Amino acid sequence: TAAKPLVVSTWDSGLAVNAVAWNVLKPGGYALDAVEEAAKSIEKEISCCVGLGGYPDREGHVSLDACIMNEKYDCGSVAGLERILHPISVARKIMETTPHVMLVGEGAQQFAVANGFKLESAELSADAAKAYKEWLKKSEYKPLMNIEQQQGKTPKRAAGGPFAPNQFEDGSFNHDTMGTIALDGKGRLAGACTTSGMAFKMRGRIGDSPLIGSGLYVDGEIGAATSSGQGEEVIRLGGTHLVVEFMRNGATPMEACKKAVERLVKINPKKAKEFQVGFIAINLKGEVGAYSVNKGFSYSVTQGDDGGKVFMAESYY
Ligand code: SD4
């Protein structure tokens, strides 16, 4: 079935990522290739939150989480992967060449190296090293949500262009995973999600981003969804699977994201004021939706040659 291609990514940094996907979608390419290329484009940039340039865990190791899913329920995932530039491509390789869905840690790295991925240096990017040194002074782990306006802080992102770390001028940070979902010209859906996880996380901590059904879900007959924010909260909800189920039951992508957020807030409304979770979703009709717990969750939509557009999601609070 012919469809109008569409790609949607989390955050405003998603605009540049969408452009990469669009180059695949426009000439009639496969949605899966589009989302993989999109994820790769940000994995190789230096940012706080995605790829080897990202912020490390408490012990100074950068460990990456990623997953990918196509329109046929094929999926692949890596978690806690170190020293490999493109976790998303390792996830795809797992999906396409093994009987498994998910590999973690050392085994994932071993698989990557055996499949020709280069083992990169363990050294932190200059940005990450600086942030880590700063963090070590107090060694506090307090995830901050993306609510710049409410906190009245100045975002530092202008300096580094579209991939600048989403960090505030006072040195505090928040976490920006890249989730990308796409519909191609043949009506095929796919999604990819990639992250270095929460900065200064406990060693071994895995968030929602590599978990199929939490950080990403694609149902080729219905739609696709991905999430960003405090991974633990998304995991306890089975977030993106829930969003897709709401769409299956008739909700538009916007309604589905909103209903999932409402479900999350209901668990503990007071606590929900203190964390951020945002969902984005698309369906086979090419409709787009997004919703977040708190203000400040942006997303990028590209469906033509106009360079795409950034929107601020509506939020519960
Ligand atoms: C995580 N969900 O590791 C990720 C972090 C994130 O924007 O989304 N940052 O929990």
63 lines ligand 1 (CB under 6 A): no
Spatial separation of the C-alpha atoms in residues 82 and 117, rounded to whole Å: 12
144 band by pLDDT with thresholds 50, 70 and 90: low
Share of the chain above pLDDT 70, in %: 89
Residue showing tokens 């949605």: 31
- The answer, yes or no, to whether residue 147 has pLDDT greater than 70, is no
Which residue blocks in 121-274 are alpha helix, DSSP H? 126-138, 148-151, 231-237, 239-248, 253-267, 269-272
27: CA distance to ligand 1 center in Å?
32
Residue showing tokens 């999350």: 264
Which range in 51-60, 104-113, 195-204 is most confidently predicted, on average pLDDT?
104-113
Closest among 294, 246, 305, 289 to 270, alpha carbons compared = 294
Closest among 200, 206, 209, 176 to 49, alpha carbons compared = 176
- The answer, yes or no, to whether residue 7 has pLDDT greater than 70, is yes
Spatial separation of the C-alpha atoms in residues 93 and 90, rounded to whole Å: 5
Q: Catalytic pick from 1, 10, 97, 177?
A: 177
- Looking at residue 138, its pLDDT comes to 84
Q: Tell me what the mean pLDDT of segment 180-200 comes to.
A: 96
- Looking at residue 142, its pLDDT comes to 67
Q: Tell me what the mean pLDDT of segment 255-280 comes to.
A: 96
2 band by pLDDT with thresholds 50, 70 and 90: confident
49 lines ligand 1 (CB under 6 A): yes
Token pair recorded at residue 250: 């008739």
Residue nearest to atom 2 of ligand 1 (CA): 231
Question: For residues 135-164, b (16+ Cβ closer than 10 Å) or e, as one string?
Answer: beeeeeeebbbbbbeebeeebbbeeeebbb
Asked if residues 184 and 3 have their Cβ atoms less than 8 Å apart, the reply is: yes
- The answer, yes or no, to whether residue 67 has pLDDT greater than 50, is yes
Q: Tell me what the mean pLDDT of segment 181-187 comes to.
A: 98
- Looking at residue 145, its pLDDT comes to 55
User: How many angstroms separate the Cα of 116 from the Cα of each of 84, 109, 170, 237, 308?
Assistant: 11, 11, 41, 36, 35
- Average the pLDDT over each of 62-76, 133-147, 151-165 and give the range with the smallest value: 151-165
- Looking at residue 156, its pLDDT comes to 45
Token pair recorded at residue 51: 């790829």
- The answer, yes or no, to whether residue 161 has pLDDT greater than 90, is no
Q: Tell me what the mean pLDDT of segment 19-39 comes to.
A: 98
- Average the pLDDT over each of 205-209, 213-217, 272-276 and give the range with the smallest value: 272-276
Task: Say whether 251 sits in a helix, a strand or coil.
Answer: coil
Q: Tell me what the mean pLDDT of segment 82-111 comes to.
A: 98
Which residue blocks in the chain are alpha helix, DSSP H? 14-25, 31-43, 87-97, 105-114, 126-138, 148-151, 231-237, 239-248, 253-267, 269-272
Specify the ligand 1 atom closest to the Cα of 176.
7
- The answer, yes or no, to whether residue 198 has pLDDT greater than 70, is yes
Spatial separation of the C-alpha atoms in residues 98 and 144, rounded to whole Å: 37
- Looking at residue 47, its pLDDT comes to 83
Spatial separation of the C-alpha atoms in residues 278 and 299, rounded to whole Å: 9
- Looking at residue 164, its pLDDT comes to 36
Does 177 qualify as catalytic in the annotation?
A: yes
Specify the ligand 1 atom closest to the Cα of 201.
3
The C-alpha angle 140, 141, 146, rounded to 5 degrees, equals: 125
Ligand 1 pocket, mutate which of 209, 216, 236, 275 (most atoms under 8 A from CB)? 209
Share of the chain above pLDDT 90, in %: 81
Q: What is the mean pLDDT of the chain?
A: 90
Specify the ligand 1 atom closest to the Cα of 230.
10
pLDDT tens for 40-55 read: 999 998 888 999 999 9
Tell me the torsion sign for CA atoms 54, 204, 201, 231: positive
- The answer, yes or no, to whether residue 122 has pLDDT greater than 50, is yes
Spatial separation of the C-alpha atoms in residues 20 and 18, rounded to whole Å: 5
- The answer, yes or no, to whether residue 150 has pLDDT greater than 80, is no
Across the strands, what pairs with 189?
A: 183
- Looking at residue 253, its pLDDT comes to 98
Name the residue with higher pLDDT: 141 or 98: 98
Spatial separation of the C-alpha atoms in residues 68 and 93, rounded to whole Å: 10
